[in-house]
Amino acid sequence: MINQWSNEFSAANAWFRLSPKRTVTRAFVFSCLLAWLTQSTTFADDSDRSSAVSRQEVGTDNISTDQCADKATGPASGENLILVPGSGFSGETEQPKSRGSGKGSEENAIARWDVIPFQVFDKTMNVGVIAFHMNEIEKVSFSVEGGPWKDVHSMKLNPETDVVEYWVTLRASDFADGPVEVRAIAYPTAGVPRVLQGKFPFNEKTKKHVENGEHSMWLFANSGDKLKNTEFFVSPSLGNDDNDGSAANPVKSLAKALTLASKQEGSSIILTEAGEYFPDRTAEGESKNTRWITVKPREGLAQKDVKIVGKGQGVRIFTRIMRLRWQGLTFRPDTYAYINELSATQEHLEWYDHCHFTTPSIEINEALPYRSRVYMTNCRFDSFIYGACGALLVRGCAVKDVMDAFQNSQLVINCRVERARPSIDEGTAHHPDLYQSFTDRKNTIVYGMKGDDIGGMQILFINQPLAEGADMTDAAFVDFDVKTSDKKGGPPFSQLQGPLNHILFKNVKIANQMLLWRTDLKDTNGFVARNVIFEDCYFYNRLNSRTMLPRGVTVRGSKKKVTKAIEGQ
C-alpha cells in the first residue's frame, strides 16, 4: 500500500516543492504521505451547512462613485443600539478581569474591527466588531467619546458591510464635525476580555505598528459639512501640470494631482479619461493627511479602462501620501506590488476599494506583494501569483487563478477563491495555499470563506517556525465551505505546524482534503498545541475518536456523533 501511494505521490512531487522561504526536503514530502496513510480515511459528512455569513457579489467593472462613497449613509439599527457620545475619554479603559473558570478561562477573546478607519460619515454609520472565543462570546460592548457603554449580545447582519457581526450605529449629528473615537470590549463567557482601544496605526513609544487589532476606531463626523472634499481633475489629453487641477483647468499627470491633493485634507482625484496613469512622485515631499485622499475614475468610466501602472517589475513607486485610497481602478501586478507602503511615513496606509488586479499573461517571477497596513474591500485578483497578502483587513474579495490567496492577512471576511492556479505545469517552485501563515501572529480571524473548483491547493497551511518563535496565538477560522477536487483526500493537504495557542476552527468544511498534524517535524516546526478547538468541522479524515489527536487538541460537535478528544496520545 505504501509503495503504491509512494509511486502516485511522486507524480505530484513537483507540485509539492516549496519556495526558498519554505524550504522542505523530499523527506518532509514523504513524511506527509506517511502521516496521511496512518490517519483515518472515513469520509466527512458532506451535508449542506448554512453559513452565518451573508455574501455580496464582487464587482470588477464600472463601479459608481455613489457605491464607493466615502460618506457612509447606512440605516440606523434601532434606538437601543445607537451610541450616545460623552465628553471624551479621560484615560485608558481599564482591562476587565478574567471571567469564569475552567478550561480556556485564561485565553483572550479574539476580536477585530470590521471597519476601515479614518472614514468620514455625514448621516449614520454602522460600526462592527467580529469576535470569537473557544468558550463563546457573551457580548461586545461599545462606547463613543467616553459615553455610556452599550452591550451587543449577538451577531446579526450589518447592512453596510453585509457581514454578520456585533455592531452599533453612530449618528453624525450627535457629534461636532471632526474626529470621533470609538472603543469596544469583547467579553467571553469564560476567558479574558479583549479591549480595542488606543492610537492607530503607529505607537510612538514602542515604535511598532498596531497590527494585532487592539486600537480605537477613529472616524470623522461631518453632519455640518465643515470637512470639505476638494476635487482635482486629471486629463492626459487636455490637462497641463501648471494648471490648478479644477474641472475647468485639469492637470496632465496623476503625480501632479497627488501633489496638489496632499495639501488638502480628504480630497479626491478624478481620472477623467481611459488609459494608463503613473502615480510616482519620488521627488516630492511627504503628506501628513489624516483623512483619506481618494483616487477614482470619473462617473461612468469603466474600471477595466483606467489602469494604474508602473515602469516595470522591481521599480519602486513612491506616492508619499500618508492615507491613500484607490477606488474602482485596475492594477498591473508589478505596480500593486511596488507601490511602497512606507513611501510617506511609518504611519502610511493604503486602501484598495473595488479594484481589479490582473495581468494579460501569467508570469512566474511576478513581484512579491508582502505588504502590511493595507485594506482590501470588494476587490478581485486573477492570473497572478499572489492575492490579498499581508493585509490588515480583506472583505468581500474574490481570487481566481492565483497561487497564494490570502497569505498572512490578519482579518479575512466573506471572501471567495475560484479555481487555484496550477503550479506543476508552470515551472515554479511555489505551491498554492488558500490561507497560509508563517510569521508571528496574534489575534487573527478568517471568517466566511467560500471556494469552488479548487484543485492542487492547500486550503490551510499554518506554518509557524519554532526556531523563529513565530507562534500563532488567538485565532479563529470560522464558516469555511471550500470544495476541492482532490482525490482521496490529497495531495495536497491542509497542515498545522509550529506552536498554536488558542485556535478555534468552527464550521470549517473542507470535505475532500485531509488535515495533517505535523508532529513529526519536532526539531523545526513540529505541531505543538494548546487549546486548539475543532467544532463542527469536516475534513476527509473525519476528526473522531478513531483519529489519534495530539495533546492540546479538542474536537467537539453538535451533529450526529459528538466526538471526544484523545489528549496526551
Residue 412 has pLDDT above 70, yes or no: yes
Encode pLDDT of 223-259 as tens digits: 999 999 999 999 999 999 999 999 999 999 999 999 9
| Between 298 and 408, residue with greater pLDDT | 298
Residue 128: pLDDT over 90: yes
110-114, 203-207, 350-354: which range is least confident on average?
203-207
C-alpha cell at 162: 453585509
Instruction: Give the pLDDT score at 208.
Output: 64
Contact 24, 493 (CB under 8 A): no
pLDDT digits (tens, 9 = 90+) for 50-94: 333 343 444 444 333 333 334 444 444 444 599 999 999 999 999
Dist. CA 69–CA 530, nearest whole Å: 44
What is the model's pLDDT at position 373? 73
Domain boundaries of the chain, sorted by first residue: 1-58+379-569, 71-221, 229-363
Planar angle of CA 56, 61, 65, nearest 5 degrees: 80
User: Taking the domain 71-221, which CATH number applies?
Assistant: 2.60.40.650
pLDDT score of 127 more than 50: yes
Q: Where are the alpha helices (DSSP H) in 211-319?
A: 254-261
Residue 275 Ramachandran class (φ > 0 left, ψ -120 to 50 alpha, else beta)? left
Name the most confidently modeled range: 173-187, 454-468, 520-534. 173-187
Reply yes or no on whether the pLDDT at 11 is more than 60.
Answer: no
What is the C-alpha to C-alpha distance for residues 180 and 193, in angstroms, rounded to an integer?
23
Return the bridge partners of 508, or none: 480
The mean pLDDT value of the chain amounts to 80
132 pLDDT higher than 90: yes
CA distance 434 to 323: 29
Confidence band of 428 (pLDDT split at 50, 70, 90): low
Q: What percent of the chain is helix, strand and coil (3-state, nearest 5)?
A: 10, 35, 55
- Place 210 in a pLDDT band, splitting at 50, 70 and 90: confident
312 by DSSP, 3-state: which?
coil
The reported pLDDT for the residue numbered 155 is: 96
Bigger pLDDT: 471 vs 412: 412
The C-alpha atoms of residue 453 and residue 245 are separated, in whole angstroms, by: 47
Binning pLDDT at 50, 70 and 90, where does residue 362 land? low
Return the pLDDT at 388. Answer: 86
CA-CA distance, 550 to 496, in Å (whole number)?
A: 11
Q: Where are the beta strands (DSSP E) in 213-335?
A: 217-221, 231-234, 268-271, 275-277, 293-297, 306-308, 323-327, 330-331
CA 410/CA 424 separation, integer angstroms: 29
pLDDT of residue 345: 52
Q: Is the confidence at residue 32, as pLDDT, over 50?
A: no
The residue whose grid cell reads 505551491 is 431
Residue 339 DSSP code: B
Average pLDDT estimate for 402-424: 83
Cα–Cα separations (whole angstroms), residue 35 to 179, 491, 494, 517: 55, 12, 12, 8
pLDDT average, residue stretch 485-507 = 90
Give the list of residues 6+ apart from residue 223 with CB closer than 8 angstroms, or none. 122, 123, 172, 173, 175, 177
Task: Say what the pLDDT of residue 485 is.
Answer: 82
pLDDT higher for 462 or 1?
Answer: 462
Model pLDDT for residues 536-559, shown as the tens digit of each residue: 998 888 776 556 789 999 998 754
Instruction: Return all residues near 299 (Cβ < 8 A) that are at least 6 apart.
Output: 64, 65
Lowest-confidence segment of 240-254, 384-398, 471-485 by average pLDDT: 384-398
Instruction: Give yes or no for residue 377 having a pLDDT over 50.
Output: yes
* Cβ-contact 272, 296 below 8 angstroms: no
User: Per-residue pLDDT averaged across 210-218, rounded?
Assistant: 91
pLDDT at 424 over 70: no
| Per-residue confidence (pLDDT) for residue 454, from 0 to 100 | 85
Q: How far is CA 176 from CA 85, 172, 290, in A?
A: 11, 8, 17
